[in-house]
Structure 1
């Protein structure tokens, strides 16, 4: 599955959440709500990583870690969608820039 297929699947779930939130709460999530949800997921992920490294206890083990990683990816895909960001292009550009910057710093250490 490529990034466009992942994003399409994420948008399907996003739309279902909109429908559910509208029915249950009378409103859909804003972009800020999605960002706050993402921050919560990152916090959960941090705790699970700490548990995987043996620095804290956390129930769920690997399946829960995998779930939180998928939740975080979903949030990134949806935030990109909601802000009109071509994530594939942005990722490719950013990684190219980082590769150049890091390579230049490493080359500077050789001198």
Structure 2
């Protein structure tokens, strides 16, 4: 959130306003697009774009998710733990039934 605060200062100085939560979501979508291009490049589907690498874009995406969760008051650790438990139970149940999707 320290970097978020720095971005607030920079955006206020440059544009006279800070980003709203939806702006961070739009930024995240852009980061996911960059990530998609880099994974295609890593898999040999397209030429590597100039700029940062896959690790950088993954970190950008993770940072965006953390900031968005904070801005919307989501306990991300608790949500992640609950979601992973639910997925594990669902997948385990399907495996026990011999069900495939």
CA RMSD of aligned residues (A): 1.4
Q: Determine the C-alpha separation between the residues in 2 that align with 1:47 and 1:30.
A: 26
More helix as a share of residues = 1
Runs of 4 or more above 4 Å deviation: none
DSSP 3-state at the match of 1:13: helix
Q: How many residues align?
A: 99
Q: Normalised by the size of structure 2, how large is the TM-score? A: 0.94
Q: Determine the C-alpha separation between the residues in 2 that align with 1:90 and 1:102.
A: 18
Q: Which runs of 5+ in 2 are unaligned?
A: none
1:72 matched to 2:82? The reply is no
Q: Normalised by the size of structure 1, how large is the TM-score? A: 0.85
Q: Which runs of 5+ in 1 are unaligned?
A: 1-10
